[in-house]
Structure 1
Amino acid sequence: MTAIRLPTALPPPGTVLGAAPHRTEDSAAYRDGGGYGTATGPRELLAHLTASGLRGRGGAAFPAAVKLRSVRDAGGSPVVVANGEEGEPGSAKDRWLLRARPHLVLDGLARAAAVTGAVRGYVYLSDPVAGASVRAALAEHPPPLPVEVVETGHAYVAGEETAVVRRIDGGPALPTAKPPRPYERGVGGAPTLVSNVETLARIALTAARPRLRDAVARTTLVTLSGAGAPPVLTEVPYGTPLRALARRYGTPDAAGALMGGLFGGLVGAGALDLPLEPDALAAAGTALGCGAVRFLGPRECPVAAAADAAAHLAAESARQCGVCVTGTAAVAGALGALAAGTAGPDTAQSLLRWARGLPGRGACGLLDAAAGLAGSLLRAFPGPVRAHLTAPCPGCAQTAPPDGRRLAVAVPEPAAAPHADGAPVPAGPTDIPLPLLKGTP
């Protein structure tokens, strides 16, 4: 079960987790906390977002103000989309947010619409529990523009922005070639803002408390897991060392980490002194991505972890780009053979070649993630790779065959909002069924 840990150094009014993260927030509680206010207008809000440098929380860390301006300046009748389809298996933040604080997301969506001039909006997700929560919130507090909930099947690529547009337009949730980008031509051909739900939540927080804009922009939700410790969803300031997070949340002797869900690749123990901050991590060759970090235990084999992640990516390929189908399968096969002790002497060289040559050749980031896994394993753990080429690894031999579901974490399920008489509805966090990989029984 994924636990929720409240931040100790941040005031609840300035956090996305809020003061009661284990309970779904209703509209009355949200308004009492300053939500849906009118003091901050669209122009002032955009200025605050520009000054704070708020970045998107979907994975790319693109400046939110730039994205809003691009949609606004494209003209026409823009569309805004709250993207809650969480494809990374180690992340639970977006689904929790839609379940527990749907009004915070919807407030952010309405404010993004006001900034861009959008005439309609969508909430895009794959979690039925989150869908029910959002629909209830829409009925409780109708937004100032028409908003529709669009559900899709859970998949790694389903949250990619062109896949989002394609699905809302009635097609499959599969990426398309770029350009055009959605901000140029998106849903129904209109300029479209596709924004991660945490990004929208932080836009709403900035509007409610502009004096806290810098703190809002420089804190982030993270999902921490691995090394036998229970998964944790928490909120931390940028600049927090990875090692401090490992120590605080149950992995004091971590040997490394799988970063950004799967997109940031593997890092060794030395990289745990890096600060949790997009630019610093990017400069070190990794990424914060969606904020999911899976720590490796001191006796956990990084080759097995890489093989697990690559197997998941290969299974999740959209199978519409030939280079992705063959490339992810090749990387997964080589890493699987390396973990099993059956790799040939040229395996490391092949992995290096793919790490250098495959990025940028697919329609989305899945192939890049597979290539990045291969390259990061070679960089961060050259000793274990050489050892696997020499003899079978005892640790890998005791591990079940790679199965990407082991990378997944359960979503904290909040209790219902209190009854009108103030008595809480008794309910505790429970696991929910996790989706199977494609091709698995």
Structure 2
Amino acid sequence: MNSSAAPPEASRYRVPQPYDPTAARLLADWCATGAPATLSDHLLRHGPAVPVAPVPDGRTPMPLVEAVERAGLTGRGGAGFPTARKLRAVAERGGRTVVVVNAMESEPASRKDQFLLAVAPHLVLDGAVLAATVVGADTVHVCVPRTRAVQYAQLGAALNDRVRARLDPVRWRLHALPHAYVSSESTSLVSWLNGGPARPQGHPPHTHERGVARRPTLVHNAETLAHLALIARHGPDWFRRAGTPEEPGTTLVTVSGAVSDPGVREAELGTPLATIIDRAGGPAETLRAVLLGGFAGTWLPAENLRVPLARRDLAPLGATWGAGVLVALPRSACGLSETARMLAYLAAHSARQCGPCHFGLPAVAEDFTALAAGRADRDLLSRLHRRTALLPDRGACRHPDGAARLAASALHAFAADVDQHLTHGACAAAHRPTWIPVPPAEPPRTWR
């Protein structure tokens, strides 16, 4: 189902038919109507944002931070940090604080935050207002990439509607930032908002101690804030009806690659990867592997598709659901070629502020390119293993860690292809069209 009124980002995807109504929370309105929710639609369905979670028996409602903690909400931007802990860390600093909505979504394989903001922007903005109420902030900064002019205009219109309705007790500031892979890191946003470059600042103080304008600053991903808005309305017990006891709730997943109906899906945590692929129309071809988590994620062989989308189950495989990306790779593709292109992109988009990014990532990317092309020397494989082992936990940010994880998982998942490329040259699949779109590898010309 498509709506002619749908904004461009929303109209890229059909409403999944059939969809799982138990998993449709953030996307419930979209699944029901196929149209983006205006402010009037949003208020009609949800009412205004409330600062505390309701209770059914008339007792005093619990504070929002306690409700979020009991709900077990974790960040949906990739790191999975407990949301209540971040709220408390800023609130306990006292004084004038700041809230930043991180809608940068610099992961090239992800569209979930763009899609959520296109179809349900006011859930995200409600969550930001509620977070500001909790931590005592009077200003909310909303950060989007300057390369997405349509998204910027849509959000600007949504914010203008709220201002005209005199809905919120905060000042809104909408910003368009340089779009690089590391510009979505929280300290990158704070640096840019303070007049510096949109690059990670790998040194204390932490943003919750001193961030924008030297004030304690809460930075939250767009999807995280939308979940917070629903917890405030429906309470922690409602939130826990989906997901697993250890990892409750739902999450948005961008499903792409060799599937019949690619797009953004909402799934309960604990849903098997194979089920999520089936909800995207099923495999378009026999699958070789899936990439979970995006460019900083992990390759998993197809025999792991029954594993649940949950950190507890993915950890033994060295994987995490990260930024909510699931890419299906068919048997007709070359996983080494796909990985080489992603590593070249990651190397070009590093901040080049420390040794692992300045020297390590380009070296790993060059070796992987040679491996994918069948030009490997006899020492290449041992060199790749050594270099990927040296990258994690040494950078000013986690950028080199993600690249190392991607490279190491590819060497494991495509071990038979590695042997083929080392001994007989590149396989035939290496010369076929690629399945994972990779943006131009050139870094932004300016970080301001």
Q: Quickly name the TM-score band, shorter chain normalised.
A: 0.7 to 0.9
Give secondary structure in 1 for the equivalent of 2:327: strand
Q: Which runs of 5 or more residues in structure 1 are unaligned?
A: 409-434
- Out of 10, 30, 51, the position equivalent to 2:21 is 10
Deviation at 1:7, TM superposition (A): 7.2
Give secondary structure in 2 for the equivalent of 1:119: strand
- Out of 285, 290, 297, the position equivalent to 2:323 is 290
Mean alpha-carbon deviation: is it higher for 34-43 or for 342-351?
34-43
Separation in 1, partners of 2:430, 2:268: 39
Q: Hey, what does 2:418 align to over in structure 1?
A: 385
Q: Hey, what does 2:35 align to over in structure 1?
A: 23
Give secondary structure in 2 for the equivalent of 1:199: helix
Separation in 2, partners of 1:4, 1:320: 43
Deviation at 1:243, TM superposition (A): 1.9
* 1:34-433 mapped onto 2 (5 Å cutoff): 34-38=46-50, 40=52, 44-126=63-145, 127-142=148-163, 143-210=168-235, 211-215=237-241, 217-227=248-258, 229-249=260-280, 250-251=282-283, 253-399=286-432, 406-407=436-437
Equivalent pairs, count: 411
- Residue 442 of structure 2 aligns with an amino acid whose one-letter code is K
Q: Hey, what does 1:424 align to over in structure 2?
A: none
Deviation at 1:74, TM superposition (A): 1.9
Separation in 2, partners of 1:51, 1:71: 19
Q: 1:7 to 1:17 in 2, by over 3 A?
A: farther
Deviation at 1:248, TM superposition (A): 3.6
- Residue 70 of structure 1 aligns with an amino acid whose one-letter code is A
Deviation at 1:244, TM superposition (A): 2.1
- Residue 144 of structure 2 aligns with an amino acid whose one-letter code is L
Separation in 1, partners of 2:100, 2:411: 38
Aligned 8 A contact 1:227 1:300 in 2: no
Aligned 8 A contact 2:357 2:395 in 1: yes
Aligned 8 A contact 1:246 1:254 in 2: no
Separation in 2, partners of 1:5, 1:164: 34
Write the deviation string for residues 56-83 of structure 1: whole angstroms up to 9, x where unpaired: 0000011111111111112221111110
Aligned 8 A contact 2:420 2:427 in 1: no
Separation in 1, partners of 2:100, 2:444: 31
Q: 1:37 to 1:323 in 2, by over 3 A?
A: closer
Deviation at 1:10, TM superposition (A): 2.8
Q: 1:36 to 1:378 in 2, by over 3 A?
A: same
Give the 4+ runs in structure 1 shifted more than 4 A: 1-4
- Residue 20 of structure 1 aligns with an amino acid whose one-letter code is W
Q: 1:35 to 1:165 in 2, by over 3 A?
A: farther
Write the deviation string for residues 202-237 of structure 1: whole angstroms up to 9, x where unpaired: 000111222522146521100011126452111011
Separation in 1, partners of 2:62, 2:88: 11
Separation in 2, partners of 1:360, 1:101: 37
Aligned 8 A contact 1:124 1:152 in 2: yes
What RMSD over aligned residues (CA atoms) do the two structures have, in Å? 2.3
Separation in 2, partners of 1:179, 1:161: 13
Deviation at 1:407, TM superposition (A): 2.6
Q: Hey, what does 1:425 align to over in structure 2?
A: none
Write the deviation string for residues 340-378 of structure 1: whole angstroms up to 9, x where unpaired: 000112111111112211112222222112211221122
Separation in 2, partners of 1:440, 1:83: 19
Separation in 2, partners of 1:329, 1:4: 41
Q: 1:91 to 1:189 in 2, by over 3 A?
A: same
Give secondary structure in 2 for the equivalent of 1:163: helix
Q: 1:440 to 1:188 in 2, by over 3 A?
A: closer
Deviation at 1:321, TM superposition (A): 2.3
Deviation at 1:133, TM superposition (A): 1.7
Separation in 2, partners of 1:99, 1:389: 46
Deviation at 1:259, TM superposition (A): 1.4
Give secondary structure in 2 for the equivalent of 1:356: helix
Mean alpha-carbon deviation: is it higher for 167-176 or for 190-199?
167-176
- Residue 18 of structure 1 aligns with an amino acid whose one-letter code is A
Separation in 1, partners of 2:417, 2:297: 20
Aligned 8 A contact 2:124 2:223 in 1: yes
- Residue 140 of structure 2 aligns with an amino acid whose one-letter code is G
Write the deviation string for residues 241-263 of structure 1: whole angstroms up to 9, x where unpaired: 11222334231632111111112
Deviation at 1:291, TM superposition (A): 0.3
Aligned 8 A contact 1:339 1:396 in 2: no
Aligned 8 A contact 1:49 1:213 in 2: no
- Residue 195 of structure 1 aligns with an amino acid whose one-letter code is H
Q: 1:367 to 1:7 in 2, by over 3 A?
A: farther
